[in-house]
Amino acid sequence: METIIISLGGSLIVPNKIDFNFLKKFRNLILKYLKKGNRFLIVSGGGKTARNYQNAASKITKIIKEDIDWIGIHGTRINAHLLRTIFRNYAYPKIITNPQKIKKEIKEKIIIAGGWKPGWSTDFVATKLAQAYEAKIILNLSNISFVFDKDPKKYKNAKPLKKINWRDFRKIVGNKWNPGANLPFDPIASKLAEKLKLKVIVLKGNNLQNVDNFLFKKNFEGTTIEK
Ligand code: UTP
């Protein structure tokens, strides 16, 4: 049984309001793939839920970085509860909050996780889960279609890449992670993913046909980051 870790970017769950149409299609896709005997670990991002709470708190008083993170973490967790609810008949009934404490003997085919602790991102949680489960692949679904050789927002001639190795990828994203920076994969998670020799696939998640193509091993649009 292959375990596939999905880092589901909050920008897909709550781009502005909760995108229930996306979630409905995402659910159908996962259930279709489950029939093939695979198991999914889905890590939920915070999206606008996290950002709205973080912004509101900052407007009221001066808040410390750790509290900005905590409120973001709870944003990821309410989204994780939403996912658990829509997968009720298939999902482990608890949300995983500490990827180091996950029980390997969980029988359910879907496990949902949220944010862990301040200073990390949900990409990092996904990477820690890959480590715990000795999984080889993380599917990173967000609103980014490809890794580009340079920042496409700054450079018009930035080229989309089909493949990139961890060393070159880490040169592009740097070593620091800023919440909300909207990078294809968090730099701190990348460092661990490189060490674990993981394969991370960056795919635009709202094109679910493309995600389907990837899962069913057909041609897909996106970037494979690997050794
Ligand atoms: P993410 O930044 O991982 O969610 O968590 P996202 O919505 O998918 O992010 P984008 O779309 O890639 O930007 C939301 C916030 O929760 C806190 C951070 O402040 C983060 O910005 N967080 C999350 C943590 O502090 N620790 C965690 O383990 C996870």
Sign of CA dihedral 124, 126, 127, 131: positive
SS (HEC) of the chain:
CCEEEEEECHHHHCCCCCCHHHHHHHHHHHHHHHCCCCEEEEEECCHHHHHHHHHHHHHHCCCCHHHHHHHHHHHHHHHHHHHHHHCCCCECCCCECCCCCCCCCCCCCEEEECCCCCCCCHHHHHHHHHHHHCCCEEEEEECCCCEECCCCCCCCCCCEECEEEHHHHHHHHCCCCCCCCCCCCCHHHHHHHHHCCCEEEEEECCCHHHHHHHHCCCCCCCEEEEC
Residue 36 Cα, ligand 1 centroid: separation in angstroms?
A: 31
Q: What is the average per-residue pLDDT within 156-170?
A: 95
| pLDDT cut 90: percent of the chain above it | 85
Of ligand 1's atoms, which has the minimum distance to the CA of residue 14? 7
pLDDT digits (tens, 9 = 90+) for 22-73: 999 999 999 999 988 889 999 999 999 999 999 999 999 999 999 999 999 9
21 band by pLDDT with thresholds 50, 70 and 90 = very high
Average pLDDT over all residues of the chain: 94
- Taking the CA of residue 124 as reference, the ligand 1 atom at the shortest distance is 28
Tens-place pLDDT, residues 93-115: 999 999 999 888 899 999 999 99
Contacts of 159 (CB under 8 A, 6+ apart): 148, 149
The predicted structure's pLDDT at residue 117 = 96
- Domains for the chain: give ranges and CATH numbers: 3-226 (3.40.1160.10)
**Does any ligand 1 atom lie closer than 6 A to the CB of residue 7?**
no
User: Per-residue pLDDT averaged across 205-218, rounded?
Assistant: 93
Its pTM stands at 0.95
Nearest CA to ligand 1 atom 18: 69
Paired with 164 in beta bridges are 225
Q: Whose CA is nearest to atom 16 of ligand 1?
A: 72
> Is the Cβ atom of 187 under 6 angstroms away from ligand 1?
no
Residue 10 has pLDDT above 90, yes or no: yes
**What is the whole-number distance in angstroms between the Cα of residue 29 and the centre of ligand 1?**
24
Identify the pLDDT of residue 216.
Answer: 87
Atom of ligand 1 nearest to the CA of 180: 13
Q: 11 CB less than 6 Å from ligand 1?
A: yes
Query: Is the C-beta atom of 182 inside 6 A of ligand 1?
Result: yes
Nearest CA to ligand 1 atom 15: 72
Average pLDDT over residues 204-222: 93
What pLDDT does 180 receive?
60
